[in-house]
Structure 1
């Protein structure tokens, strides 16, 4: 009987030891905050998205008109100093267009619309206005607002991210101080992503009456301004009792 009691006591001790070993240590309290960082820079390049399209009853005539406009625009870009490596005109589409004939109660073929998309990278922003005005003069009939960028975007993005992390730490420290506790190490860090606001729309106006002005930027009243690169993070910090 005595041996049985000792055996049961030993088994209970082993079980308690096993359960205790499996239980994780208590976690310290935490606090979750977000941080925001932003940097500004002067853009040093622009990307233009343009397109030329034409509608005609004959496929070949529609294609020929679009190709004529694109060739003319390429000549303008070449004279403006835009290199061939910065121009893409490979996107081509052709599709029929219809209108609804109410009398016949059916669709009626209007013609065929040919379209060529043009992508241009302008590395000298002093030539941006010339590239846009040259498009309208060549007959390009779709011009989107230029996307202004910086060739140092990756470096600027990392700086914005670092500022966001410092902002999160400062916020957490302020809360910890107000609560009367110490701020511990960062337990979890999540990057919410980086953002660059889209370029603001503007009116494309070829002011040929002011031909005496040399710069296309001046003719358009085009000012590239600054670009803003922002980053956001969320961080969870440990809190330590004083």
Structure 2
């Protein structure tokens, strides 16, 4: 009987030891990695608008449509495809101005603001498009947005650099702790980031520009990851 009790006591001690070992907190090294890639933009988009006002509603529409139609025809002539010219807004309303002398609103006319985006696949055509806008009476432009066509490819390159950066940090921390790490136990992409379009805004209105000379520069594509290593 005594031998049986002793054996049970040893078994209980062994089970207790295993449980304690399982409850021991896991040691983890967590690092963040960052990577970036620079690229020269190869495409652009420009937002244009045509604003017309006339006491006669139909005249306001006709004047606006004439300017837009002529400009679009010019764009097609220089190689911009019809699918790359997209209307973004079309606002038609009565316009009023406030008279401080009379203390009331004065009817100015019917106003039509037609806004549209032009996508330019050949970066060398940007200046030509802007110059054609001036020649054809386009009244507004809020900027040139440069971007890249191979977004996914560039982002994946930046992502690889982010992982390499995180691995280097983990190795340095492990060496400082006198620990050994292997492959990461967990890797999390810290937000998806495609190349950020860079907007170029003009200080002068389109109507005041004699010619357009644009420098697209470079875009920086960034990626980041969070990595966990056990030791």
Q: Same fold (TM over 0.5)?
A: yes
Separation in structure 2 between the aligned mates of residue 31 and residue 106 of structure 1, nearest angstrom: 70
CA gap of 1:54–1:25, structure 2 versus 1, over 3 A, is same
2:52 touches 2:112 (CA, 8 Å); kept in 1?
A: yes
1:120 aligned to which of 109, 118, 121: 118
Give ranges in structure 2 of 5+ residues lacking alignment. none
CA gap of 1:115–1:29, structure 2 versus 1, over 3 A, is same
Give ranges in structure 1 of 5+ residues lacking alignment. 1-5, 208-218
Separation in structure 2 between the aligned mates of residue 222 and residue 228 of structure 1, nearest angstrom: 18
Residue number in structure 1 paired with 2:133? 135
1:52 touches 1:117 (CA, 8 Å); kept in 2?
A: yes
Residue number in structure 2 paired with 1:201? 201
Write out per-residue CA displacement over residues 100-127 of structure 1, whole angstroms, 9 at most, x where no aligned residue: 3435544333322201112111112221
Separation in structure 2 between the aligned mates of residue 202 and residue 165 of structure 1, nearest angstrom: 39
2:43 touches 2:122 (CA, 8 Å); kept in 1?
A: yes
CA gap of 1:96–1:237, structure 2 versus 1, over 3 A, is farther
Name which of structure 1's ranges 189-198 and 142-151 shifts more when overlaid on structure 2.
Answer: 189-198
Separation in structure 1 between the aligned mates of residue 228 and residue 196 of structure 2, nearest angstrom: 26
How far the C-alpha of 1:65 sits from its partner, in A, is 1.5
Separation in structure 2 between the aligned mates of residue 110 and residue 235 of structure 1, nearest angstrom: 62
Write out per-residue CA displacement over residues 85-140 of structure 1, whole angstroms, 9 at most, x where no aligned residue: 22123632112223334355443333222011121111122211111111122111
Separation in structure 2 between the aligned mates of residue 48 and residue 107 of structure 1, nearest angstrom: 35
Residue number in structure 2 paired with 1:191? 190
CA gap of 1:179–1:75, structure 2 versus 1, over 3 A, is same
2:221 aligned to which of 226, 229, 232: 229
Secondary structure in 1 matching 2:65: helix
1:93 aligned to which of 91, 94, 119: 91
- After TM superposition, list the pairs within 5 Å mapping 1:1-242 onto structure 2: 25-89=23-87, 91-184=89-182, 185-194=184-193, 195-196=195-196, 198-203=198-203, 206-207=209-210, 219-238=211-230, 240=231
Separation in structure 2 between the aligned mates of residue 234 and residue 220 of structure 1, nearest angstrom: 44
1:57 touches 1:110 (CA, 8 Å); kept in 2?
A: yes
Separation in structure 2 between the aligned mates of residue 182 and residue 107 of structure 1, nearest angstrom: 78
Name which of structure 1's ranges 146-155 and 187-196 shifts more when overlaid on structure 2.
Answer: 187-196
CA gap of 1:233–1:96, structure 2 versus 1, over 3 A, is farther
Count of matched residue pairs? 217
Name which of structure 1's ranges 147-156 and 190-199 shifts more when overlaid on structure 2.
Answer: 190-199
Superposition TM-score, scaled by structure 1 size: 0.76
CA gap of 1:188–1:39, structure 2 versus 1, over 3 A, is closer
Separation in structure 1 between the aligned mates of residue 221 and residue 85 of structure 2, nearest angstrom: 26
